Amino acid sequence: MSQILQHDAALVLFSGGQDSATCLAWALSRFARVETLGFAYGQRHAVELDCRERLIEGLKDIHPDWAKKLGDSHTLSIPTLATISDTALTRDVEIAMGADGLPNTFVPGRNLLFVSFAAALAYRRGIGALVGGMCETDYSGYPDCRDATLKALNVALNLGMATDFQLHTPLMWRDKAATWTLAHELGGAALVDLIREHSHTCYLGERGGRHDWGYGCGECPACQLRAKGWREYQAGQASLSAGTASS
Protein backbone atom coordinates (compact mmCIF):
# COMPACT_ATOMS: atom_id res chain seq x y z
CA MET A 1 0.00 0.00 0.00
CA SER A 2 1.33 3.45 -0.88
CA GLN A 3 1.91 6.14 1.71
CA ILE A 4 -0.91 8.66 2.09
CA LEU A 5 0.58 12.09 1.45
CA GLN A 6 -0.80 15.48 2.44
CA HIS A 7 -0.78 17.65 -0.67
CA ASP A 8 -1.40 20.80 1.33
CA ALA A 9 2.03 20.26 2.91
CA ALA A 10 5.37 21.07 1.27
CA LEU A 11 9.03 20.31 1.87
CA VAL A 12 11.27 23.05 0.47
CA LEU A 13 14.87 22.37 -0.49
CA PHE A 14 16.27 25.34 1.42
CA SER A 15 19.98 26.08 1.10
CA GLY A 16 19.92 29.63 2.44
CA GLY A 17 20.41 31.18 -1.01
CA GLN A 18 18.36 33.73 -2.93
CA ASP A 19 16.50 31.17 -5.01
CA SER A 20 15.58 28.81 -2.20
CA ALA A 21 14.52 31.70 0.06
CA THR A 22 12.20 32.94 -2.68
CA CYS A 23 10.85 29.42 -3.13
CA LEU A 24 10.22 29.16 0.61
CA ALA A 25 8.12 32.34 0.49
CA TRP A 26 6.33 30.95 -2.58
CA ALA A 27 5.51 27.73 -0.73
CA LEU A 28 4.32 29.60 2.35
CA SER A 29 1.89 31.54 0.19
CA ARG A 30 0.38 28.30 -1.18
CA PHE A 31 0.58 25.47 1.35
CA ALA A 32 -0.89 24.95 4.81
CA ARG A 33 2.27 23.40 6.28
CA VAL A 34 5.83 23.96 5.12
CA GLU A 35 9.01 22.26 6.28
CA THR A 36 12.55 22.94 5.06
CA LEU A 37 15.55 20.79 4.22
CA GLY A 38 19.17 21.76 3.77
CA PHE A 39 22.21 19.67 2.89
CA ALA A 40 25.72 19.71 4.31
CA TYR A 41 27.83 18.03 1.66
CA GLY A 42 31.26 19.54 2.22
CA GLN A 43 30.51 22.61 0.11
CA ARG A 44 33.00 25.49 0.17
CA HIS A 45 30.14 27.90 0.77
CA ALA A 46 28.73 26.07 3.79
CA VAL A 47 28.11 29.50 5.29
CA GLU A 48 24.85 29.39 3.29
CA LEU A 49 23.48 26.93 5.84
CA ASP A 50 24.09 29.45 8.61
CA CYS A 51 21.85 31.95 6.81
CA ARG A 52 18.75 29.79 6.99
CA GLU A 53 17.69 30.56 10.56
CA ARG A 54 17.81 34.32 10.04
CA LEU A 55 15.83 34.01 6.82
CA ILE A 56 13.20 31.84 8.49
CA GLU A 57 12.84 34.27 11.40
CA GLY A 58 12.58 37.15 8.95
CA LEU A 59 9.85 35.38 6.99
CA LYS A 60 7.88 34.91 10.19
CA ASP A 61 8.09 38.65 10.85
CA ILE A 62 6.93 39.57 7.35
CA HIS A 63 3.71 37.53 7.47
CA PRO A 64 2.28 36.27 10.79
CA ASP A 65 0.35 33.55 8.93
CA TRP A 66 3.63 32.28 7.49
CA ALA A 67 4.90 31.81 11.03
CA LYS A 68 1.94 29.51 11.73
CA LYS A 69 2.65 27.45 8.62
CA LEU A 70 6.37 26.92 9.16
CA GLY A 71 7.19 23.50 10.50
CA ASP A 72 10.42 21.66 11.22
CA SER A 73 13.76 22.62 9.68
CA HIS A 74 15.91 19.63 8.70
CA THR A 75 19.57 19.26 7.76
CA LEU A 76 21.00 16.12 6.17
CA SER A 77 24.72 15.49 6.11
CA ILE A 78 25.93 13.73 2.96
CA PRO A 79 29.74 14.19 3.00
CA THR A 80 30.14 11.31 0.55
CA LEU A 81 29.10 13.69 -2.21
CA ALA A 82 32.23 15.77 -1.64
CA THR A 83 34.36 12.65 -1.35
CA ILE A 84 33.39 11.39 -4.79
CA SER A 85 33.30 14.84 -6.44
CA ASP A 86 36.18 16.81 -7.87
CA THR A 87 34.65 20.25 -8.30
CA ALA A 88 35.26 23.87 -7.40
CA LEU A 89 32.36 23.69 -4.94
CA THR A 90 33.91 20.84 -2.98
CA ARG A 91 37.64 21.55 -3.50
CA ASP A 92 39.80 24.63 -2.98
CA VAL A 93 40.49 25.15 -6.69
CA GLU A 94 39.97 28.03 -9.07
CA ILE A 95 36.58 28.26 -10.76
CA ALA A 96 36.96 27.59 -14.49
CA MET A 97 35.21 26.06 -17.47
CA GLY A 98 35.74 22.34 -17.96
CA ALA A 99 36.52 20.47 -21.16
CA ASP A 100 32.88 19.30 -21.26
CA GLY A 101 31.65 22.88 -21.56
CA LEU A 102 30.35 22.99 -17.99
CA PRO A 103 31.86 25.12 -15.22
CA ASN A 104 33.80 23.10 -12.68
CA THR A 105 31.27 24.23 -10.07
CA PHE A 106 28.97 21.50 -11.42
CA VAL A 107 28.61 18.73 -8.81
CA PRO A 108 27.46 15.65 -10.77
CA GLY A 109 24.27 14.16 -9.40
CA ARG A 110 23.82 16.79 -6.70
CA ASN A 111 20.22 17.77 -7.44
CA LEU A 112 19.30 14.17 -8.23
CA LEU A 113 20.49 13.18 -4.77
CA PHE A 114 18.97 16.21 -3.07
CA VAL A 115 15.51 15.62 -4.49
CA SER A 116 15.71 11.89 -3.80
CA PHE A 117 16.67 12.47 -0.18
CA ALA A 118 13.94 15.10 0.08
CA ALA A 119 11.40 12.63 -1.25
CA ALA A 120 12.51 9.98 1.25
CA LEU A 121 12.11 12.45 4.12
CA ALA A 122 8.79 13.74 2.76
CA TYR A 123 7.53 10.15 2.51
CA ARG A 124 8.23 9.57 6.18
CA ARG A 125 6.57 12.84 7.16
CA GLY A 126 3.55 12.44 4.89
CA ILE A 127 4.35 15.50 2.77
CA GLY A 128 3.11 15.44 -0.80
CA ALA A 129 4.79 18.49 -2.36
CA LEU A 130 8.50 19.03 -2.96
CA VAL A 131 9.71 22.52 -3.85
CA GLY A 132 13.11 23.36 -5.36
CA GLY A 133 14.74 26.47 -6.80
CA MET A 134 16.16 24.83 -9.93
CA CYS A 135 16.10 27.00 -13.02
CA GLU A 136 17.24 26.67 -16.61
CA THR A 137 16.67 30.30 -17.61
CA ASP A 138 19.49 32.02 -15.70
CA TYR A 139 21.94 29.28 -14.73
CA SER A 140 25.38 27.85 -15.45
CA GLY A 141 24.25 25.05 -17.75
CA TYR A 142 23.91 22.37 -15.06
CA PRO A 143 21.97 19.46 -16.64
CA ASP A 144 20.36 18.51 -13.31
CA CYS A 145 18.64 21.91 -13.18
CA ARG A 146 16.71 21.32 -16.39
CA ASP A 147 12.95 20.94 -16.50
CA ALA A 148 13.12 17.63 -18.39
CA THR A 149 15.53 16.17 -15.82
CA LEU A 150 13.34 17.07 -12.88
CA LYS A 151 10.12 15.91 -14.50
CA ALA A 152 11.75 12.56 -15.24
CA LEU A 153 13.01 12.36 -11.65
CA ASN A 154 9.51 13.12 -10.36
CA VAL A 155 8.16 10.20 -12.38
CA ALA A 156 10.92 7.88 -11.15
CA LEU A 157 10.33 8.80 -7.51
CA ASN A 158 6.61 8.19 -7.78
CA LEU A 159 7.20 4.85 -9.44
CA GLY A 160 9.91 3.82 -6.99
CA MET A 161 7.97 4.84 -3.88
CA ALA A 162 4.45 4.11 -5.16
CA THR A 163 3.44 7.67 -4.32
CA ASP A 164 2.19 10.79 -6.04
CA PHE A 165 4.73 13.45 -5.09
CA GLN A 166 4.34 16.76 -6.89
CA LEU A 167 7.71 18.41 -7.58
CA HIS A 168 7.36 22.19 -7.95
CA THR A 169 10.07 24.37 -9.51
CA PRO A 170 8.58 27.89 -9.45
CA LEU A 171 11.76 29.53 -10.77
CA MET A 172 12.29 27.19 -13.71
CA TRP A 173 11.43 29.77 -16.38
CA ARG A 174 12.42 32.91 -14.45
CA ASP A 175 15.70 34.75 -14.78
CA LYS A 176 17.29 36.33 -11.72
CA ALA A 177 15.56 39.67 -12.30
CA ALA A 178 12.22 37.88 -12.41
CA THR A 179 13.16 36.04 -9.21
CA TRP A 180 13.69 39.36 -7.43
CA THR A 181 10.35 40.51 -8.85
CA LEU A 182 8.63 37.37 -7.55
CA ALA A 183 10.06 38.03 -4.08
CA HIS A 184 8.61 41.54 -4.21
CA GLU A 185 5.22 40.20 -5.29
CA LEU A 186 5.22 37.68 -2.44
CA GLY A 187 6.47 39.84 0.42
CA GLY A 188 7.03 43.37 -0.81
CA ALA A 189 10.16 45.40 -0.11
CA ALA A 190 10.55 43.67 3.25
CA LEU A 191 11.13 40.29 1.61
CA VAL A 192 13.44 41.73 -1.03
CA ASP A 193 15.52 43.38 1.69
CA LEU A 194 15.58 40.21 3.80
CA ILE A 195 16.84 38.13 0.88
CA ARG A 196 19.34 40.77 -0.18
CA GLU A 197 20.79 41.09 3.31
CA HIS A 198 20.67 37.56 4.69
CA SER A 199 20.68 35.03 1.85
CA HIS A 200 23.95 33.69 0.48
CA THR A 201 24.93 33.07 -3.14
CA CYS A 202 28.71 33.35 -3.45
CA TYR A 203 30.41 30.06 -4.38
CA LEU A 204 33.50 31.06 -2.41
CA GLY A 205 31.56 31.56 0.81
CA GLU A 206 32.52 35.23 0.96
CA ARG A 207 30.46 37.27 3.44
CA GLY A 208 32.87 40.18 3.90
CA GLY A 209 32.12 42.25 0.81
CA ARG A 210 28.77 44.10 0.85
CA HIS A 211 27.27 45.04 -2.52
CA ASP A 212 23.93 46.60 -3.38
CA TRP A 213 22.63 43.08 -4.14
CA GLY A 214 24.02 41.50 -0.96
CA TYR A 215 27.23 39.83 0.22
CA GLY A 216 29.75 37.95 -1.92
CA CYS A 217 33.04 38.04 -3.76
CA GLY A 218 31.37 39.74 -6.73
CA GLU A 219 33.43 37.74 -9.21
CA CYS A 220 32.27 34.12 -9.19
CA PRO A 221 29.52 33.03 -11.61
CA ALA A 222 26.89 32.92 -8.87
CA CYS A 223 27.67 36.47 -7.74
CA GLN A 224 27.69 37.74 -11.31
CA LEU A 225 24.27 36.23 -12.04
CA ARG A 226 22.84 37.67 -8.83
CA ALA A 227 24.31 41.12 -9.50
CA LYS A 228 23.06 41.16 -13.09
CA GLY A 229 19.59 40.15 -11.98
CA TRP A 230 19.55 42.84 -9.30
CA ARG A 231 20.52 45.56 -11.79
CA GLU A 232 17.79 44.45 -14.20
CA TYR A 233 15.24 44.24 -11.40
CA GLN A 234 16.14 47.73 -10.19
CA ALA A 235 15.87 49.10 -13.72
CA GLY A 236 12.45 47.52 -14.06
CA GLN A 237 11.29 48.99 -10.76
CA ALA A 238 12.53 52.43 -11.79
CA SER A 239 10.66 52.15 -15.09
CA LEU A 240 7.46 51.19 -13.28
CA SER A 241 7.83 54.13 -10.90
CA ALA A 242 8.41 56.52 -13.79
CA GLY A 243 5.35 55.18 -15.61
CA THR A 244 3.19 55.54 -12.50
CA ALA A 245 4.40 59.11 -11.91
CA SER A 246 3.60 60.15 -15.47
CA SER A 247 0.12 58.60 -15.58
| pLDDT string in tens for the chain (247-residue length) | 467 899 999 999 999 999 999 999 999 999 999 999 999 987 877 899 999 999 999 999 999 999 999 999 999 999 888 787 766 566 565 666 666 666 656 677 889 999 999 999 999 999 999 999 999 987 667 888 899 999 999 999 999 999 999 999 999 999 999 999 999 999 999 999 999 999 999 988 899 889 999 999 999 888 999 999 999 999 999 888 777 766 6
Residue 43 is predicted with a pLDDT of 84
Residue 103 is predicted with a pLDDT of 63
Residue 64, H or E segment: helix 64-69
Residue 149 is predicted with a pLDDT of 94
Residue 237 is predicted with a pLDDT of 92
For 10, other C-beta atoms within 10 Å of its C-beta total: 28
For 74, other C-beta atoms within 10 Å of its C-beta total: 16
Residue 27 is predicted with a pLDDT of 98
The strand order across the sheet containing 127-131 reads: 70-77, 33-40, 6-13, 127-131, 166-168
Residue 146 is predicted with a pLDDT of 93
Residue 87 is predicted with a pLDDT of 66
Cα torsion for 196, 25, 222, 157, to the nearest 10°?
A: 170
Residue 154 is predicted with a pLDDT of 98
User: What is the DSSP code (8-state) at residue 99?
Assistant: T
Residue 1 is predicted with a pLDDT of 44
- Quote the CA–CA distance of 128 and 130 in Å, as a whole number: 7
